[in-house]
């Protein structure tokens, strides 16, 4: 990093390089915080955090996965090309499969 460069411009440059070199990283929303941390985030059901493993292979670091009854989250914290990176994914579990013909109670009925 140049002595006069802001941490945010270094993170912006790193993000540009990351997206150019790894166009297959899709589905993450990227932002840069005021300290110059490059932050990637994804919410949803698809992949169950697998994109964190993909990012770890490209950026280095060790992914952490936490599963709970109705979903989970995964996180990667690393430094890539001198820029701190945090990638976070949260997901919910898909609805359980029911046997064909199962009658479900109406909403609000216990």
Question: What pLDDT is recorded for position 95?
Answer: 61
Examine residue 100 and state whether it is found in any structural domain, yes or no.
Answer: no
Which comes out higher in pLDDT, residue 82 or 101? Answer: 82
Question: What pLDDT is recorded for position 110?
Answer: 54
- pLDDT category, 106, cuts 50, 70, 90? low
pTM of this structure: 0.76
Examine residue 98 and state whether it is found in any structural domain, yes or no.
Answer: no
Burial environment of residue 21 by CB neighbours within 10 A (0 to 12, 13 to 18, 19 or more): exposed
CA atoms of 110 and 103, how far apart (whole Å): 14
Q: Which of the listed ranges 30-34, 43-47, 103-107 does the model predict with the highest average pLDDT?
A: 30-34
Mean pLDDT, the chain, rounded, equals 85
Number of domains in the chain: 1
Examine residue 75 and state whether it is found in any structural domain, yes or no.
Answer: yes
* Domain around 58: 7-92
Closest CA to 55 of 39, 33, 44, 36: 39
Each residue's pLDDT tens digit, 39-65: 999 987 666 788 899 999 999 999 999
Examine residue 53 and state whether it is found in any structural domain, yes or no.
Answer: yes
Residue 54 near residue 63 (C-beta atoms within 8 A) = no
Pair type for strands 83-92 and 38-43: parallel
Examine residue 86 and state whether it is found in any structural domain, yes or no.
Answer: yes
């Amino acid at each position: 990093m140049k002595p006069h460069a802001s941490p945010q411009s270094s993170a912006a440059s790193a993000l540009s390089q990351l997206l150019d070199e790894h166009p297959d990283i899709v589905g993450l929303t990227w932002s840069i915080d005021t300290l110059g941390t490059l932050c990637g985030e994804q919410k949803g059901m698809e992949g169950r955090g697998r994109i964190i493993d993909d990012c770890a292979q490209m950026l280095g670091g060790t992914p952490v996965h936490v599963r709970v009854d109705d979903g989970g989250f995964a996180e990667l914290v690393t430094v890539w090309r001198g820029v701190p990176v945090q990638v976070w994914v949260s997901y919910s579990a898909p609805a359980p499969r029911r046997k064909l013909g199962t009658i479900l109670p109406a909403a609000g009925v216990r």
